[in-house]
Amino acid sequence: MDSIYFDNASTSFPKSKKVLESISDFIKNTDGSYNRSESTEESDYIFETRRKIAELIGVKYPTHIIFTSNATEALNTIIFGFVNKNANIVSTVTEHNSVIRPLTYLQKSRNLTVDWAECDRYGLINVDELIDFVDEKTDLVIVNHGSNVTGQVQPIAEICKRVKQKGDIPILIDMSQTLGHIEIDNNNLEADFIVFTGHKALKALTGIGGFYINPKHTSISPLKVGGTGVLSELLSQPRTLPYYFESGTLNYPGIFSLYCSLSEMSIETLKNKKEYIYTLTDYLINKLTDMHDIDVYSNANVLGIITFNIKGMIPARVSSLLQKEHIKTRSGLLCAPFIHHYVHDNVYGCVRISLCELNTKEEVDKLIHVLRGICHNVEEYQNIRLPKVYELPIPERKYFNAK
């Protein structure tokens, strides 16, 4: 039986056959290291990948696009490099642990103050509360553009505009879930940092991500220093972008996979992709909502993310039963622990379906058929009475009321 893949918010699958063939050819036939020899072909595709990302997010200079191994490294590079002792940070309860854990670590090691703006039951940020937290003492605002739990896309244009009205306050946008679904124009947003990953909606391999940095912030400390292939006579890290943040051998196959997948992307394909995923997501949500044993936590969205629980069942149990029917999903807290308190699921999290443009209505119907079977036998499967092994984490209240 063919399996059905509904875990695209973790990593997209399958990759384009054309992209995979190009990567295979690249690995077999390409040698040399970018900036370490006269390897002009490597230089061309790496610069072109930077240019394509810059074009997708609306920034002028490709050299302001920095490559990392993933979005987690990109977020850590910015947060650890930018945030000083006793800094004041404003963020949201919708964030991924790639933001929550660095900030929690720095609260202890650098005496950070963090204000966490709340969200509604679908993951929509309370923008008024976020803006109320921002003042002249704020050092950085961090906003997750799209929730990996509910699929909610935040009104980032409004947020950026209102933050900038308070002063020249740096903004970091985490586009891990959205870039490849949504294009933005940073000429209008004026975000200082934009983080992305390659292996989700951008359809590249794992192990490649990065960020845009406003060059006025290149005084921040890099996460690592070392060989850059240029200016080797300097004993300190070259300040030139992108080398300042790119020590060591880059993931050339990963960058090339990103180049290939971006080459297949256009404004028209993005538009068609958004419309298709939104329609399929809406269809699935309507089907789930009609089932009285199921609680749904998502509205229709262009990210294709739908989360739910079957009443009385631990989400991991539901995912396991779906896996037996060759349906791949994700369950749990999804590396975003704070938001679950607000969407009112349970201490074990939820089941996540994440669609892409390759999924079909027939696959969704198969999912619904299997879920109906589980719900029909729900008393046999119920296990919510298992002892809890942890309490659902929420931000400390003092950070909400700090101002």
**Closest by Cα among 51, 71, 60 to 214:** 60
The C-alpha atoms of residue 27 and residue 252 are separated, in whole angstroms, by 9
The C-alpha atoms of residue 371 and residue 354 are separated, in whole angstroms, by 16
Q: Are 103 and 89 in contact (CB under 8 A)?
A: yes
Task: Say which CATH architecture domain 4-12+267-381 belongs to.
Answer: Alpha-Beta Complex (3.90)
pLDDT tens series, the chain, 403 aa: 689 999 999 999 999 999 999 999 999 988 756 554 455 555 689 999 999 999 999 999 999 999 999 999 999 999 999 999 999 999 999 999 999 999 999 999 999 999 999 999 999 999 999 999 999 999 999 999 999 999 999 999 999 999 999 999 999 999 999 999 998 999 999 999 999 999 999 999 999 999 999 999 988 999 999 998 888 988 888 889 999 999 999 999 999 999 999 999 998 999 999 999 999 999 999 999 999 999 999 999 999 999 999 998 999 999 999 999 999 999 999 999 999 999 998 889 999 999 999 999 999 999 999 999 999 988 777 665 555 556 677 786 444 433 3
The C-alpha atoms of residue 94 and residue 99 are separated, in whole angstroms, by 10
Structural domain boundaries in the chain: 4-12+267-381, 17-263
Q: How far apart are the first and last CA of the chain?
A: 57
Q: Are 326 and 3 in contact (CB under 8 A)?
A: yes
Q: Are 145 and 200 in contact (CB under 8 A)?
A: no
The C-alpha atoms of residue 93 and residue 333 are separated, in whole angstroms, by 13
Q: Which fold has domain 17-263?
A: Aspartate Aminotransferase; domain 2 (3.40.640)
Strand (E) or helix (H) holding 344 = none
